[in-house]
Amino acid sequence: MSAPSANRPVNKRVLMLATCLCDAYFDDAAQATVEVLEHLGCTIEFPEAQTCCGQPAFNSGDWPSSRRVVRHTAKVFAGTAPIIVPSASCAAMLVHGAPLEFEKEADKGEIDALSNRAWELADFIVNGLGVKKWPGKYQAKIAFHTSCHSRGTQSGQATLTLLSSIEGVEVMAFGEGEQCCGFGGTFSVTFPNISKGMGDLKLEHVRAAHPDVLVSGDSSCLMHLSGLAEKEGKPIKTLHFAQILRDALKNGGMLAN
């Protein structure tokens, strides 16, 4: 996967792409994203007309359908402000996927412009705003799942930098950490056995590290893993890293409860 370009805009007036998963299921992860960014002095604009990044159709091979959604996103997120995404996967769709499926399209230029403004949340905090130490405290042993869409980007390392800087956090290493959790969007329903096999392996490794909570920058991985664990009757606690950052601020008295 191509790395994000080096000259993405850094600005504290940001647009937020909340992602369809946060819109539908993980409202608190999106809420935490807002609170974390505001703590850093950012002004957040949330374009109401936003929907999804277009990745489900892109990965399914229905590129015309995906392009329709990406064009909508480009329209809704017009401007020059950085676009902050609390998901490495959706950020990668904007940074890498969209330009790929627009290779032969007349409006590739507009899509490249959109792509060049996209930041995954941790990447923006650490590499955009230069914040490498997170204040507050959070008492927990954390297993951090580096999602695959953090490959070839700086997001995985950035998230780890933030999490491990929090007072009270102990980041627990676990086996085969670089392996995919088996979600993969529609892959999880078209290849149910393989997807489950991959997920079970991930859970086995995570459980062996005895963390208090499994954390990731992608709610989709967490939805898959916690769904598997719960169905098995052995639920695990999962949180988006933005929730950890936000709760650390609250615990440190830097944010009202």
CA distance 160 to 167: 13
Total chain residues near other proteins (CB under 8 A):
75
Please name the helix (run of DSSP H) or strand (run of DSSP E) that holds residue 239, with its range, or none. Answer: strand 238-240
Strand order in the sheet with 43-45: 43-45, 13-16, 83-85, 118-120
Query: Where do we find the tokens 């009270």?
Result: 168
193 scored as a contact of other proteins (CB under 8 A): yes
> Closer to other proteins at the Cβ: 98 or 169?
98
Please name the residues in contact with 52: beta carbons below 8 A apart, sequence gap of 6 or more. Answer: 19, 20, 69, 73
> Closer to other proteins at the Cβ: 130 or 178?
178
CA distance 208 to 205: 5
Compose the 235-254 pattern: x for residues touching other proteins by CB under 8 A, - for all others.
--------------------
8 scored as a contact of other proteins (CB under 8 A): no
Cβ atoms 237, 47 nearer than 8 A? no
Residues in 54-113 that interact with other proteins by CB under 8 A: 54, 56-63, 65-66, 68-69, 71-72, 76, 97, 100-101
Selected binder of other proteins within 23, 107, 170, 204 (CB under 8 A): 23
We find the least distance from the C-beta atom of residue 196 to other proteins, in angstroms, to be: 5
We find the least distance from the C-beta atom of residue 26 to other proteins, in angstroms, to be: 7
CA distance 196 to 107: 39
> Closer to other proteins at the Cβ: 169 or 229?
229
173 scored as a contact of other proteins (CB under 8 A): no
We find the least distance from the C-beta atom of residue 216 to other proteins, in angstroms, to be: 14
Contacts 24+ apart (CB under 8 A), 106-112: 107/71, 107/74, 110/74, 111/70, 111/71, 111/74
> Closer to other proteins at the Cβ: 67 or 117?
67
Q: Beta strand pairing status for 43-45 and 118-120?
A: unpaired
We find the least distance from the C-beta atom of residue 182 to other proteins, in angstroms, to be: 6
Cβ atoms 149, 142 nearer than 8 A? no
Selected binder of other proteins within 3, 10, 133, 176 (CB under 8 A): 176
Residues in 214-233 that interact with other proteins by CB under 8 A: 223-224, 226-228, 230-231
Copy the structure tokens of residue 21: 């998963």
